[in-house]
Structure 1
């Protein structure tokens, strides 16, 4: 069964790169540039995993992650936070299922995703 991944990042280059790589590895990918659409998209798309940027044009991805983990209908979905700001790494782990620093290594990204999907 093909796994569905939602990528939420306001950087078009990052979104496109992740989508290209994940599609090559047989994942179904949907991307979002705006955090305001996250909850509606999750309800319609029902992803198996979410890659969520921490800095989303003034919105905080960790707040979105906390809300997703607090809602029974989304709490089971693994959320991996991504950010170029390394100081978020330690504070993010208690809210998310993982953290990937930007720029990221493709093999590391795939490893983190596969680990979460296998759990």
Structure 2
């Protein structure tokens, strides 16, 4: 069973994604902030990470950059989720996720993008 880590500070969106992907047969773990991000990756060993851009005081793009710069995590596909529709709108926070989903998102689009990344 493929494992997906979802990081979003909006509890309703987090719960929706967990429910939808759980019904699709994925094992899903959710985080509302990034305070235990590295620990959860080490323990859960996700096959894919869905990562919100704006995480309160933290920027998801910075977390994405750290994942892609680390030999232990660079292989994990990252799909960024954002209502801003622009991943590069903050100077110095440019990241290169494997895919992007704009909020509000279509459930079937979410499922298609997740399955495409896990099939790659």
Question: Which structure 2 segments of 5+ residues have no match?
Answer: none
Deviation, structure 1 residue 36 = 1.9
Q: Give the aligned length.
A: 118
Aligned position for 1:115: 116
Greater percentage in helix = 1
Matched residue SS, 1:14: helix
Aligned position for 1:77: 76
Question: Which structure 1 segments of 5+ residues have no match?
Answer: none
Aligned position for 1:41: 40
**What is the TM-score normalised by the length of structure 1?**
0.93
Where has structure 1 moved over 6 Å in runs of 4 or more? 89-93
**What is the TM-score normalised by the length of structure 2?**
0.92
